[in-house]
């Protein structure tokens, strides 16, 4: 995807842990250039960012080790588009980095053996319901007025938006449905101009 100015958006994928390679492939299928993010300088020049799943405690330890916490918060607050999935959603909540006005409940649907798939209609996403893979997934336990709930399971928010950030508690990189990644690339294209 080339923007009106001719530059293809450059999207970062946090690559400390988790399914970052699958997110990178999805972004490339959507026409983006991809850079793995491991240290603060990897955020320089990015038009958008993906915070993938993994284990939130391990991610927070990695942020502390690499000095990534504050630079990630600054990036999220910059207005550039961000897609946070599963543990990526958790680390942005009030109790961790504080970048989103919400609180996640970790492993809300249960442990690994309680993983499941569901069909979700996400507000603002055209097409059929999205197949959502939930693995030790969180849900949004509470949120402030600036959060828009895009989808819920059993009354619990599992997809939300705050400003330019879309945060979901499932793994869109596992299904081959690239619509969330495509939306990120499209939004990042406006940053690239």
Mean pLDDT over 128-145 rounds to 97
pLDDT score of 111 more than 90: no
**Predicted local distance difference test score (pLDDT) of residue 193:** 67
pLDDT score of 123 more than 90: yes
Active-site position among 23, 143, 171, 181: 171
Quick one: pLDDT band at residue 110, thresholds 50, 70, 90? confident
Q: How high does pLDDT run on average in the chain?
A: 94
First to last CA, the chain: 12
pLDDT score of 140 more than 70: yes
pLDDT score of 101 more than 80: yes
Active-site position among 30, 104, 143, 173: 173
Active-site position among 30, 86, 143, 181: 86
Mean pLDDT over 140-144 rounds to 98
Quick one: pLDDT band at residue 3, thresholds 50, 70, 90? very low
Tens digit of pLDDT for each residue in 21-69? 999 999 999 999 999 999 999 999 999 999 999 999 999 999 999 999 9
Tens digit of pLDDT for each residue in 63-86? 999 999 999 999 999 999 999 999
Q: What is the pTM of this model?
A: 0.95
Q: Which of 108-112, 153-157, 188-192 has the highest mean pLDDT?
A: 153-157
| DSSP structure class, residue 146 | T
What fold, for 10-192? Rossmann fold (3.40.50)
**Predicted local distance difference test score (pLDDT) of residue 13:** 98
Q: Which pairs count as long-range contacts for 92-97, CB under 8 Å and 24+ apart, including other chains?
A: 92/51, 92/165, 92/167, 96/56, 96/60, 97/63, 97/69, 97/72, 97/73
Residue 171 falls in the annotated catalytic set? yes
Sequence-distant (≥ 6) Cβ neighbours of residue 86 within 8 angstroms: 18, 52, 53, 54, 135, 136, 137, 138, 168, 169, 170, 171
Residue 173 falls in the annotated catalytic set? yes
Tens digit of pLDDT for each residue in 6-22? 689 999 999 999 889 99
């Amino acid at each position: 995807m080339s923007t009106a100015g001719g530059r293809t958006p450059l999207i970062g994928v946090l690559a400390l842990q988790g399914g970052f390679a699958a997110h990178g492939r999805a972004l490339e299928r959507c026409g983006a250039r991809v850079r793995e993010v491991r240290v603060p300088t990897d955020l320089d020049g990015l038009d958008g960012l993906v915070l993938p799943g993994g284990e939130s405690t391990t991610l927070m330890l990695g942020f502390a080790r690499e000095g990534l916490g504050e630079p990630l918060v600054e990036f999220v607050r910059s207005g550039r588009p961000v897609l946070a999935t599963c543990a990526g959603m958790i680390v942005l909540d009030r109790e961790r980095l504080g970048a989103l006005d919400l609180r996640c409940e970790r492993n809300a649907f249960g442990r690994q053996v309680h993983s499941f798939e569901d069909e979700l209609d996400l507000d603002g996403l055209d097409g059929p319901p999205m197949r959502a893979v939930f693995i030790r997934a969180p849900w949004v336990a509470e949120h402030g007025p600036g959060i828009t709930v895009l989808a819920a399971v059993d009354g619990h928010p599992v997809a939300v938006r705050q400003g330019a950030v879309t945060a979901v508690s499932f793994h869109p990189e596992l299904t081959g449905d690239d619509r969330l990644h495509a939306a990120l690339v499209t939004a990042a294209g406006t940053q690239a101009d």
